Amino acid sequence: MDNNEDILIRFNRLTKKFGNFYAVSNINLEIKRGEIVGFLGPNGAGKTTTMKMMAYLLKPTDGEIWIRNNGKLEKLTLKNRDYLLDNVGFLIEIPAFYSDRTPRQILSYFANLKGYPRKKVKNRVAEVVEMFGLSEWLNKKIKTFSKGMRQKIGICSAIVHDPDIVVLDEPQTGLDPKARKDVREFILKLKQMGRTIFLSSHLLYEISEIADKIAIINQGKLIAFDTLDNLELKASKSVINFELYDTSKYDLADLLVRLNKIIIPLTGIEGDSTNKVGFNENSKIFEVPFNGVPKNQLKIHKALFKNNFDVLEFSVPKANLLESLFIDLIDDSSKKIKSDENEIIIRGN
Amino acid sequence: MSKELIQEQLELEEIIMEKQEIGIKRYLTQITDTINFEFKRTGKTFIIMLIVYFAIFSLNLLIYELQEAAGVELPEETINYIEGYFGFFGLLIIISTATFGGSIIAEDFQKQTGNLLFPKISKSRLLIGRVISRYALNAILIIFYYILVAIITNYKYGELPDTLIDSMGWALFYTFMLFTFVIFMSSINKSKSAAIIVSILLFLIGFNIIEMVLMVTRTGIEPLFIPTYYENIIEASLDMPDPRFEEANFGPHGDDVKFKRWLTPSTSGAFIGMSLFSVLLLIAAFFFYKRRQSKNE
């Protein structure tokens, strides 16, 4: 089974059933060393259930979870969970603290629980808190902390025992933009330190900014797992945003007709009713669907300049792309699951 | 390789080696770490309870002192003097036990603190650590009260009955049994307040009503199935009554109707009964705790 030294986590036919309901169904997934894998899915898709199975808080109905520790990839069982999970740090769901305790007390307790060398615990706690710039809060009671600060301490609690793998379930939910940015930067810092991160989120922008690979789950089934670029190529669908200098000098209807005439033949998409240039009145941004191929992107870019448009900005925003891919994939998979169910009912009849 | 790099590498290897210590050693260190953490968490509650115990002791002492000042002589026997300090002792045990035990399970579900604790520690280790630490604090309160009683009795009478130690032993055992009952309540109630209130109501009212019903219906059954009945042995063990029940005439029916009232369980009955209660309640609490965990997740 252990044929790739880089694999740190492997889900093999991972399944969890509650009664007759499949919360997670036959998931196969491999996460390699140093990767950030974003785990996406609508509410109730099975993200948290998957993470809880990994934490051995839920026992899989079928299938296996393999985790690497000390160079060896081993199947997670009741017997070796202490040993294997020592190499994993978890932050599952919203963390809540004993509010009359300080970060030092709580993090020291957690580091001790996970077997971190006792004489080094004090320094380690100070080190992880420092990573988030919360050193001056180390000895203050958590009841005085903001939501963002609590979430950061929650992430500190996941890494205080210095694991190779960090599993974060919705770490940025409910945070203000500044705190979200801090968490995002911190996750990237962890990656730079060689950590492997498995991260679920509803915030597509956050995932698109940091994830090397995206895993999309819907109704318990893994419907996509690849890099964002590869998903884009597979879907043959992406979006270009561009802004023109002083759009007020144009008649908007005429301008859109002209842009459509120039750009649409270059998008690489045929026979699609959505294949036309759009304009956002508020942001003054034009949106062009295209097939995601860089060559087409370049052709559109050149065509705009060739036709003397004053292009201020031209980009392919990953967040929009991910959102569009996510919605398409979820819709497709939901339709497929429904048609499979109908087929079963018809066969049954 | 530079000196610093070698040092860093050595430290990393040391961390990995030390981290490998799992199995029974990890099991025990997690329990001791939990005990230490819980001592710190419940320290403030402990100090408050210590003050309450001291206040109740002082109140009993004050009553004796006022009686003495009014010319009423102190009881002739030391045992009778000591019994005077047990008036509110049962209530004290109930309050401190409910306070320390009510949050033991319910709190992590109510406050969602379980999201951080698990899977860093298993449910069983966390529960064992908490039970030990909180019971230890409860036990210290009981011993503290007995020490105060012993000091003042020795001061007043110049002697102490041997049975005082027996009484303290029963008090500690009874406290543990009540504690397991509160833990059970904590495992089935949504909040720690509910666990505390329901436990106190059952101890003070619910079980007493059952005991009264048994007495009034004149079944003659010894209420060994009522947890609070075992409280009687704490005082009775100072001077075990024989027989262990009394027959009294009271109520609207007049003198011809006799009611049998059980005064205390026997030592063997108390030992077996409280052991059974403790074991069964702990098992039930753990079962609900485990079940609740899965349900919640």
Give B207 to chain A, closest Cα distance, Å.
34
Contact assignment for B115 to A92 by CB distance below 8 Å: yes
Query: How many pairs of residues across A and B have Cβ atoms under 8 Å apart?
Result: 83
| Chain segment A229-243, per-residue pLDDT in tens | 888 777 667 888 999
What residues of A are in contact with residue B21 (Cβ under 8 Å)?
115
| CA gap A214, A220 in Å, rounded | 16
Distances (CA, A) of B216 to B31, B204, B210: 47, 18, 10
- The token duo for A256 is 């859109």
Contact assignment for A86 to B29 by CB distance below 8 Å: no
Smallest Cβ distance to B22: which of A96, A106, A115? A115
* DSSP 8-class letter at A196: E
* pTM for the full predicted model: 0.81
Give B38 to chain A, closest Cα distance, Å.
10
Distances (CA, A) of B29 to A89, A284, B33, B36, B209: 19, 62, 6, 10, 44
Contact assignment for B16 to A112 by CB distance below 8 Å: no
| Chain segment A25-42, per-residue pLDDT in tens | 999 999 999 999 999 988
**pLDDT at residue A346, as a whole number:** 59
- Does A54 lie at the interface with B, CB-CB under 8 angstroms? no
| Chain segment A157-202, per-residue pLDDT in tens | 999 999 999 999 988 887 888 888 888 999 999 999 999 999 998 7
**pLDDT at residue A104, as a whole number:** 96
- Does B271 lie at the interface with A, CB-CB under 8 angstroms? no
* Contact status, residue A72 vs residue A245, Cβ threshold 8 Å: no
Which of A82, A87, A106, A114 should one mutate to test binding to chain B, selecting the residue with the greatest count of B CBs within 10 A? A82
**pLDDT at residue A273, as a whole number:** 64
Give B267 to chain A, closest Cα distance, Å.
41
CA A257 to chain centre: 38
| Chain segment A252-288, per-residue pLDDT in tens | 889 999 999 999 889 888 766 667 888 888 888 998 8
Spans of chain B below 50 pLDDT:
294-297
| CA gap A92, A242 in Å, rounded | 39
ipTM of the complex: 0.84
Instruction: For A160, name the nearest residue in chain B, comparing CA atoms only.
Output: B120
Contact assignment for A115 to B41 by CB distance below 8 Å: no
| Chain segment A318-333, per-residue pLDDT in tens | 766 777 778 777 777 7
